[in-house]
Amino acid sequence: MSLDGICALLFDMDGVLIDTHTSVESFWNELARKHQITLTAEDFERLIHGTQAWMTLDRYFAVLSADERRHVEADLTVYEDHLTYKLMPGVWDFLVLLKAHKIPTALVTSGSQRKVDAVFAQFDLSDKFDTVITADLVHHGKPDPECYRLAAQELSIPPQACIVFEDSVSGTQAGLSAGAQVIGLGKTQILLELGATQVIPDFSVFTIKPSEQALLTLVAPPDLEVVIA
């Protein structure tokens, strides 16, 4: 399968650039235990990963008072401030490659600017993206397509000429609804069922194919070619 005419690559952060699945699940499971609430693996896969914190609070923790909710949000900020993040395999080399070939890129996350700053400080990623879209900049979080449409607009590139890298159901839905192609990360087949072009384990699977007609042609098994014009 060949994806032609691609002009920009848009990246989610949690689960795509950095490994945060365990930390996200740990925080919400601990809060759920305190309030005798059960969260299933399907809850995390379909409705928690990739969404903004307030959406999870609305959906699962409506029993909390306004004051309790403010405490949870403050606790989450402190929790994230003290995390030591880990880059997903192949991410650094992939971003360096894109930068070297002057491929437009965007980071599009449901996290806050504060969390992005913390991640960038740990890994010196600030120069790897041409624009950054955080939860603070949109009115509607994923699965709404606003964030990806805004990223494409900031890059002056139509969403249809963008590839979105996502690991979550909500993020995949957002990317597809924006009109972009989506490549999923991880082992979940549900992203293919939603309409992702392909699911890859991580960015280390990409190799470069020589091309005189494109800035870059990326190849991933079994048969994916991404032609960046």
- Per residue in 141-196, pLDDT (tens digit) is 999 999 999 999 999 999 999 999 999 999 999 999 999 999 999 867 899 999 99
Please give the single-letter amino acid code of residue 10. Answer: L
Per the structure block, which two tokens stand in for 131? 């624009």
Can you give the pLDDT at residue 94?
A: 97
DSSP notation for 110-171: SS-HHHHHHHHHHHT-TTS-SEEE-GGG-SS-TTSTHHHHHHHHHHT--GGGEEEEE-SHHH
| Whole-structure pTM value | 0.84
What's the rounded mean pLDDT across residues 13-29? 87
CA–CA distance, 80 with 69 (Å, rounded to integer): 17
pLDDT at 76 over 90: no
Per the structure block, which two tokens stand in for 155? 């890059």
- Looking at every residue in the chain, the average pLDDT score rounds to 92
130: pLDDT confidence band, cut at 50, 70 and 90? very high
What's the rounded mean pLDDT across residues 69-87? 86
Can you give the pLDDT at residue 210?
A: 82
Can you give the pLDDT at residue 50?
A: 72
Can you give the pLDDT at residue 113?
A: 94
